[in-house]
Amino acid sequence: MVALIGNPLQAKAMGFVYVDVSKQIYSYDEMMEDIISISAGHEDFVSYSTLTTTSQGRSVCLLKFGNLASDNKILITASIHAREYMTSQLVMRMLEEYILNYDVPQANGLTYRQMFDSVCFYVLPMINPDGVTISQFGGTPRIKSNGNGVDLNRNFPLGFGQAPNAAKKPGLSNYPGSTPLSEVETLVMATLLNENDFVTCINYHSMGELIYYGASTNSAEVAIGCKNMANLVGSITGYKKLYCGNAIGSFADYFGSVEAAPSVTIEIGTATPTPISQFDEIYNRNINVWPEVARLYQ
């Protein structure tokens, strides 16, 4: 436990029990332990499972949280890009805050149980555990790809291979793969979309303090939804908004077409890997996003 001193909001970010936000490296192994720890005893509103196993033998975990019976399913994804692993630390620390204080009234007088009563979050806290581990311990901290050298956020069918900077062969970034959904990590995300109707999605990335939204392939209705989501999340976080444009095989592109629902991509920091010194500010900007998005579905 870290002593609660100074700015109460900052202290809240650092007041962890399990998810350590005081150091740069938050590893896959730590996250897997924390998933077990923060879920224990809360089976009425938290569950988790392994969706698949990566080529290097790690689990891609799904954590469900909130009203587990709700049809208002909100998808949250983090660390599809290896070097953006602070997004896992952020999502896990937010989950810890919500779960461990589920019945504690917050500043608005409501408990998280009340705020999240009409929604169920489907959280993928670390889509790319092999890449994250390579970034943290493998000597190439700037890697975005997975363990096979494929950029998972270019491996989806819509706009596959269309990114202007697409690489021709496996490497640290921008290689879309030999075929769409060639990787177990992306295949399992596509399966998740096939098996569930999501009302919206937030994808966490970490470069640029921006909210990306929209794709030229979206229907008019989805385009409006994306813009509204970006406006809402922008008003909470203060991040600038940027329209994406042409589909490039990203998960957001694919989500918009398969689910016919809006999404936003939140770029949480100014550098990758994001320095831990930025964590408190990032946490404070993001901790109210999930409750406000949940309010849309009450």
Region near Zn ion per CB under 5 A, out of 21-29, 76-84, 237-245, 249-257: 76-84
Please state, in angstroms and rounded to a whole number, the distance separating the CA atoms of residues 150 and 97: 33
In the complex, the smallest distance separating the C-beta of residue 84 from Zn ion, rounded to whole angstroms, is 5
Pick the closer one to Zn ion by CB: 73 or 205. 205
Size of the site for Zn ion (CB under 5 A): 3
| Shortest distance (Å) from residue 233 CB to Zn ion | 16
205 belongs to the binding site for Zn ion (CB under 5 A):
yes
Residue 98 or residue 175: which is nearer to Zn ion going by CB? 175
Closest to Zn ion by CB, 93 or 205: 205
Contact between 81 and Zn ion (CB under 5 A)? yes
Q: Shortest gap between Cβ of 265 and Zn ion (angstroms)? A: 8
What would the two tokens of residue 158 be?
A: 């819509």
Amino acid (1-letter code) at residue 81: H
Cβ-based nearer residue to Zn ion, 200 or 272:
272
CB 217, min distance to Zn ion, A: 19
Minimum separation from the CB atom of position 259 to Zn ion (A)? 20
* Cβ–Cβ < 8 Å for 218, 226: yes
Choose between 87 and 218: whose C-beta lies nearer to Zn ion.
87
Instruction: Report the nearest approach of Zn ion to the CB of residue 235 (Å).
Output: 23
* Residue closer to Zn ion, measured from CB, 73 or 83: 83
Report 140-169 residues binding Zn ion (CB under 5 A). none
Note whether 83 binds Zn ion by CB under 5 A: no
Which of these ranges, 45-53, 55-63, 80-88, 288-296, lies near Zn ion under the rule CB under 5 A?
Answer: 80-88
Q: State the residues that interact with Zn ion by CB under 5 A.
A: 81, 84, 205
